[in-house]
Structure 1
Amino acid sequence: MVELTPLLWSLLALGALIVGLSKTALPGGSTLAVALFAAVLPARTSTAALLVLLIVGDALALLMYRRHADWKTLLRLAPAVAGGLLVGVAFLALADDDGVRRTIGAILLLVVAFTFWLRRRTAAAPPLGAGGRAAAIGYGTLGGFTTMVANAGGPVMSMYFLASRFEVKAFLGTAAWFFAIVNIAKLPFAIGLGLLTTQTLLIDLVLVPAVIVGGLAGRLLADRMNQAVFERVVYLLTIVAAVYLLL
């Protein structure tokens, strides 16, 4: 375990704050937290520490938006996401860290471009959530894959929920349930691989208040954010996340 100076603790606290914000107001922003944690902690430790904080953020989001979820969309995505998780496990066994990051970054940029084109192609196009089975399979598989290998499923699923044309609270509620279920499903893998240690959990215990503060601030922000601004922020954060992973 690295020795944590006040500066490093500050960076981790900022990452935890971003986790809370991403769960209650700015979907896709959690990838910025991935970057901060990876810069401070060893790779395996950072993944496990962040997973626990993401679950705390999921719990906050569920408290705030649990009634706004679109369960038809979640059930439609479930088989593909499960398949993506398994593909992610296999990919991790074969690829190195650089290959993983760059592959995900390239996928995110392609997903952004495709989603933007789909949304702009015609105002009359039906939303994906209305029955786009192929889209659910594609986005769901990518979402499961990217969340398994790098805790980076947020941007992919943000693009799917945007393409489904959810209003802000339906978007956040559906995302809350999606990631709560997926992240809890990932927890046994982290425990089985020995990634969650007493030291890791102690770091998380210190950082949990920052997640809560970020989540509460995000709720205030979401209540004041109109749909157009919300969608632009999601696109921007997804592109930033993709560029970070590519570099």
Structure 2
Amino acid sequence: MGGLASVAIAIFATLLPTRESTAAILLLLLVGDVVAVWHYRPHADWSLLRRLVPAVLPGLLLGAAFLAVVDDTALRRSIGGLLLVMALLQLRLQRRAASDEPGGPGGPSPGRGTSRAAALATGLGTGFATMTANAAGAVMALYLVAQGVEKRRFLGTGALFFFGVNLCKLPFSVGLGLLTSQTLQRTVLLAPAVLLGAWAGLHVARRLSQSHFDRAVLAATVISALALVAR
């Protein structure tokens, strides 16, 4: 269920050393990614993925360089700031979607074609945000909604994209010394809870209205971000 991962990001960044938390939650996200890919892979749009991938690696490199030079306090506040930006982007998406509905004030949204610049900017921003804070979901959402991607294609494309990106982040985390034996033990311990949460999320998502879900994600993101910035 997408953006609710921001709650886990904030919890880990609060309870663990912030740099270590980025690797600890990465492994758990990968467990959830496997479930998402298994269920949503038939709906992935490979043409969209091909446009985004080239700029992701430079974004990951920038994020890794940032992780290498900042201290825990700066990183924690940076994660909080990124989550706030993601929340603002999500709010903008919701308002835009409302105005684009038939009869809405905005009318049909023009220019839904994909520009190369937008794809490159999305890939770069996603790579940086996900390397530093595992918080790139709203960047990806902004791009997909701008392309008019319907719900199932949205879920399938996002699942495959972030599974691949998270796998690419593993060597960077290892190189920065963030993956320790304790991190692996914690992942093994918590993986069953992730799988249980994934099962619950899949069932709840089918019953929850999109508007209620979007509001819950937005509220969770704002609360988590403010807790990190203020701590």
What TM-score results when the alignment is normalised by the length of structure 1?
Answer: 0.77
Structure 2 unaligned runs (5+)? Answer: 101-105
Query: Is 1:100 matched up with 2:78?
Result: yes
The range that moved more, 36-45 or 237-246, is 237-246
What TM-score results when the alignment is normalised by the length of structure 2?
Answer: 0.81
The range that moved more, 166-175 or 183-192, is 166-175
Match of 1:108, SS state, is helix
Query: Is 1:168 matched up with 2:154?
Result: no
1:124-165 Cα deviation digits (max 9, x unpaired): 11475x313332222222111110111111232233333333
Given the alignment, which residue of 111, 117, 135 partners 1:152? 135
Alignment length (residue pairs): 221
Q: How does 1:79-94 map to 2 (within 5 A)?
A: 79-94=54-69
* 4+ aligned runs moved over 6 Å, structure 1: none
- For residue 236 of structure 1, report the CA deviation from its aligned partner: 4.3
CA contact (8 A) 2:68 2:176 kept: no
- For residue 84 of structure 1, report the CA deviation from its aligned partner: 1.5
Matched residue, 1:124: 108
Given the alignment, which residue of 110, 125, 132 partners 1:142? 125
Q: How does 1:12-161 map to 2 (within 5 A)?
A: 26-97=1-72, 98=74, 100-101=78-79, 103-105=81-83, 107-108=85-86, 111-112=89-90, 115=93, 118-119=96-97, 120=99, 122-126=106-110, 128=112, 130-161=113-144
- For residue 191 of structure 1, report the CA deviation from its aligned partner: 1.8
Match of 1:29, SS state, is helix
Matched residue, 1:9: none
Superposed CA RMSD: 2.6
- For residue 91 of structure 1, report the CA deviation from its aligned partner: 2.7
- For residue 193 of structure 1, report the CA deviation from its aligned partner: 2.4
CA distance in 2, matches of 1:239, 1:123: 29
Structure 1 pair 94/43, CA: closer, same or farther in 2 (3 Å)? closer
